[in-house]
Structure 1
Amino acid sequence: MDSKNNYKVIGLMSGTSLDGLDIAYCQFSKTTKGWKYDILQATTVDYSAAWTQRISTAHTLVGEELIALHVSYGKLLGKICKDFMQRHKLSKVDFIASHGHTIFHQPAKGFTYQIGDGNALYAECGVPVVCDFRALDVMRGGQGAPLVPAGDKVLFTDYDVCLNLGGIANLSIDIRRQRKAYDICFANMGLNYLARKVNKKFDAGGLMAERGNLNVKMLQALDKIYEDLRLIRPSLGREFFEEKIVKILDDERIPVDDRLRTFTESSAIEIVKAVKAYHRKVNVLCTGGGAFNTFLIAKLLEHGGDDIAWIVPDENVVKYKEALVFAFLGVLRARREVNCLKSVTGALVDSSGGVLVGF
């Protein structure tokens, strides 16, 4: 780092939709007016078919196999980072902040688990690593998620609401000077699941959904599931998706385009209900892969009306905001400052979470 207030960090994010590893080389500077950021270089590395299969089935592995995958994936991350630094001739990287890839997230049982061994990553590329951001919060009674709102609060102060349209749609907002955030509903996780039924990785622009027809019974089934979630707002994950959502998405009596249309409609309705719960006009920063889904954005506009301004920023912020924020959470961890908010996760105390390797 150039000084105690200037950092150049690589952030790594692999999300639930399994659409690749996001890498963002970011610069952070602390000024008298707060923190400033810049995304200097960024890319998404697609997973090979073999790695997609290994990660998507990791939850079925026995202990020894899961540990081996944890190490192998850490080595893969290290190789990808090494290639990224060489390709862009990055001579200055203070450290890497790696989210890893979530395999188990069961805070009610007291654990969360992300593969991507930080020691293996460090050994492979030689750059210090911050990893395992969620576990401490879970140990302190929190949900271990969402973590991004701690970065939203500092880096995106111009927006009333920060909405992430990733595998899971979630939002963060300041209420009486406290940051609040929660998962709303499944988004790209369900859309990509359906797209794979016709051998596509995703529904580009929502074109298949747009030509589909709304299935009222399917919409009602999804609404019934989300009805209880609106009251308690739990942290959502693969386990809930597989238990509650997949059986609705697997109804082969409904054409895939119709299922995509209905799932998109459901997601838009749930997101608008969440935003409108604050009973005021708001501007909403939309990021994550879903911000490129023009049909989903159109549905948000339709259901949101005049009280909600949906703002899609420049492409780098849309695609790499989570990697950017995890890089910043790494900065806060390296400074021993709070990077996980009890007002968001429900933990007993704020935390500075993350394991430091090679510092």
Structure 2
Amino acid sequence: MKTYKIIGLMSGTSLDGLDLAYCHIWEKKGTWQFEIKETKSIKYSTEMLNTLKNAIDLSAEKLIEIHNTYGTWLGEQVLTFVNDYSLVVDYIASHGHTTHHRPEMGLTFQVGSGQHLANACGIKVICDFRTNDLALGGQGAPLVPIGDSIFFSQYDFCLNLGGISNISFDVKGKRIAYDIGLANMILNYITRKVDIEYDEDGKLARKGKINKTMLERLNGLEYYLLPHPKSIGYEWFLAEVVPIVEDTKDTLENLLHTSIHHICDKVAQQIQLNFKHNNQELLVTGGGALNSFLTETLQAKLGETTNVVVPEKIIIEFKEALVFALMGVLRVEQLTNVLSSVTGAKKDSSSGVLFIPN
């Protein structure tokens, strides 16, 4: 089988920017292999960040306008990346940026028009990976577990700490995954109130103390009682979490410290509920894996039975972009890339829409 040369694009709910990963992906003796050849992260300008963050409140006309202009911008970033590294590329696999996610209404929307993206860079684009799963009765999320299952199956659990925390693991040969709850979304919301982009390495949080009232309110959120499959989006954060943060009059350090204990409480709870064996391994990726106070707090809560594994930085930062590259390859091959055991859909699917440049 050929080696696919494909760029995965990922913009997550933490709104820290666009990740690009140029990957070679191939199948050998029935097993998919990968190599991440080149990467790039592009921070959003203040204007772009605010545009994406506030897209939830836009009219339909303005939302479609952003969908198209953001798609063109993505294509321009891809073209620069390709030219800077003289890359040979078969496809772009783009997640887009989620502005609306209401699976209970059968609704999800990722801005970043595939046709505009393809036209701007001159390369075939596969995107819109979530809509088909919703049409099949699923949550349309999480999607990364297909990559966990194919590329990282040696770990007992795979935890991603992006804007939202989500986890995946095998139960009786089937992949199970769901959004646990909060991660960087709350941390970044708190720091951006004082014009700090994020709490680097958890240095501010480390200085704080737990605010018991805030912790009890966060831990008591109704979402945590729901059975999986389940997923959350920015709407939930605005409605349920922001009021708790705004009601809590405390120092920046204490707000961050409390939030990290909440994040780790909920992750540890899920690991303990699904305990497999002593010395089990939990792979941690996403921006939260770079926060040593967070990973140390999580390890302390899990104790000696579970080893928190923080991989090399390229996997921490670009695993999601890699997985979307894989999803693009699987779509081209017409193989399953969205798991019904994860999303709750009627059946597995090969999802994503192909756009040809004009």
TM-score after normalising by structure 1 = 0.97
8 Å Cα contact 1:179-1:344 kept in structure 2: yes
Q: Residues 15-54 of structure 1: matches in 2 within 5 Å?
A: 15-54=12-51
Q: 1:188 aligns with which of 165, 184, 190?
A: 184
Q: Deviations over 1:78-129 (max 9, x none)?
A: 0000000011111x10100000000111111111100000000000000000
The Cα shift of 1:250 comes to 1.3
8 Å Cα contact 1:82-1:125 kept in structure 2: yes
Query: What's the counterpart of residue 10 of structure 1?
Result: 7
Query: What's the counterpart of residue 164 of structure 1?
Result: 160
Q: Distance in 2 between matches of 1:211 and 1:168?
A: 23
One-letter amino acid of the counterpart of residue 144, structure 1: G
Q: 1:63 aligns with which of 60, 66, 69?
A: 60
8 Å Cα contact 1:184-1:233 kept in structure 2: no
8 Å Cα contact 1:147-1:340 kept in structure 2: yes
8 Å Cα contact 1:340-1:353 kept in structure 2: yes
Query: What's the counterpart of residue 174 of structure 1?
Result: 170
Q: Distance in 1 between matches of 2:116 and 2:86?
A: 22
Q: Distance in 2 between matches of 1:305 and 1:227?
A: 26
Query: What's the counterpart of residue 216 of structure 2?
Result: 220
What is the aligned-residue RMSD (CA, Å)?
1.2
Distance 1:303 1:230, change over 3 A: farther
Q: Deviations over 1:277-332 (max 9, x none)?
A: 12233201110000000000010111000111111111100000000000000000
Q: Distance in 2 between matches of 1:228 and 1:18?
A: 23
The alignment-based identity, stated in percent, is 43
Q: Distance in 2 between matches of 1:18 and 1:204?
A: 15
The Cα shift of 1:59 comes to 1.1
Q: 1:122 aligns with which of 118, 121, 139?
A: 118
**Aligned with 2:89: secondary structure?**
coil
2:230 matches 1:234: yes
Query: What's the counterpart of residue 147 of structure 2?
Result: 151
Q: Distance in 2 between matches of 1:12 and 1:121?
A: 11
The Cα shift of 1:227 comes to 6.8
TM-score after normalising by structure 2 = 0.97
The Cα shift of 1:33 comes to 4.9
Query: What's the counterpart of residue 285 of structure 1?
Result: 283
One-letter amino acid of the counterpart of residue 280, structure 1: K
Q: Which runs of 5+ in 2 are unaligned?
A: none
8 Å Cα contact 1:114-1:132 kept in structure 2: yes
Q: Distance in 1 between matches of 2:141 and 2:228?
A: 14
Query: What's the counterpart of residue 295 of structure 1?
Result: 293
2:321 matches 1:316: no
Q: Deviations over 1:155-181 (max 9, x none)?
A: 112111111011001010011000000
Q: Distance in 2 between matches of 1:38 and 1:326?
A: 14
Query: What's the counterpart of residue 306 of structure 1?
Result: 304
One-letter amino acid of the counterpart of residue 78, structure 2: C
Q: 1:256 aligns with which of 223, 239, 252?
A: 252
Q: Distance in 2 between matches of 1:103 and 1:320?
A: 21
**Greater mean deviation of Cα atoms: 227-236 or 314-323:** 227-236
8 Å Cα contact 1:7-1:27 kept in structure 2: yes
One-letter amino acid of the counterpart of residue 282, structure 2: V
The Cα shift of 1:231 comes to 3.7
8 Å Cα contact 2:177-2:229 kept in structure 1: no
Q: Which runs of 5+ in 1 are unaligned?
A: none
Query: What's the counterpart of residue 110 of structure 1?
Result: 106
Query: What's the counterpart of residue 101 of structure 1?
Result: 97
The Cα shift of 1:5 comes to 3.5
The Cα shift of 1:252 comes to 4.9
Query: What's the counterpart of residue 75 of structure 1?
Result: 72
